[in-house]
Amino acid sequence: MAGDAPWYEAALLVGVTNALNVVADSPLESLEPASPSAEAQTVFTEIRAFYDRADVPVAFRRVASDPGYLADLWGAARRVFTDNTLTRRHKEALAFAVSVTTRSEFGTAFHLAEMRRLGVGERGVMEVLGVTQMFSSYTKIADTLQLEPDMDHIAAADPSPAPGGTPPPPRTRPPEAP
């Protein structure tokens, strides 16, 4: 996990996971169009193929009355869950951890199913759940005692530029006073 790229990727994944969960877990059944438009159906077909399942996850169905929005939301979700610096399998594990931590009923069940579909065994599920539970403990202990970060200096800063960008010019030291 050296460098910043995997961490940027993980953070974006956390955001999109939470975005899907908040809609799926809210009482928004009435927003699901009874007859989604042809444009929405096209997106649904992509979603079914990506997840290799017959139904469309509720988080997407509930925004289908605006097919343009649905397409963009799906594009973001597909992007963050596709293999990249992090594997899709690992990303599902992260999304599962986020969902458990935020008590998302939809996200927990959905990402657990996705982890299993992608080959994570019961031992692997327990590993992710164990880490999630242990760090749900440590974080609350740290917050209660208002502990300050003391391990953030262990990893070196990543000097690489933004994707497609150019490295920053070398920093020059200001002239020293005589």
Partner 1 sequence: MPTVRLRDAGEYPEPIQKLFEVAKAWFKYDFAQPPAMSRVMAWDPELGAFHGRAMKRAMTPGEFSRAEKEMVAAVVSGVNACAY
Report in angstroms how near the CB of residue 148 gets to partner 1 at its nearest.
Answer: 7
The secondary structure of the chain, three-state, reads CCCCHHHHHHHHHHHHHHHHHHHHCCCCHHHCCCCCCHHHHHHHHHHHHHHCCCCCCHHHHCCCCCHHHHHHHHHHHHHHHCCCCCCHHHHHHHHHHHHHHCCCHHHHHHHHHHHHHCCCCHHHHHHHHHHHHHHHHHHHHHHHCCCCCCCCCCCCCCCCCCCCCCCCCCCCCCCCCC
With respect to partner 1, which residue has the nearer C-beta, 38 or 154?
A: 154
Q: What is the smallest separation between the CB atom of 7 and partner 1, expressed in angstroms?
A: 8
Nearer to partner 1, 49 or 154 (CB): 154
Q: Which is nearer to partner 1, 31 or 129 (CB)?
A: 129
Q: What residues line the site for partner 1 (CB under 8 A)? A: 1, 6-7, 10-11, 14, 18, 86, 90, 93-94, 97-98, 101-102, 120-121, 123-124, 127-128, 130-151, 154
Q: How far is the CB of 41 from partner 1 (least distance, A)?
A: 34
For the bound state, the minimum distance from the C-beta of residue 116 to partner 1, rounded and expressed in Å, comes to 12
Nearer to partner 1, 21 or 70 (CB): 21
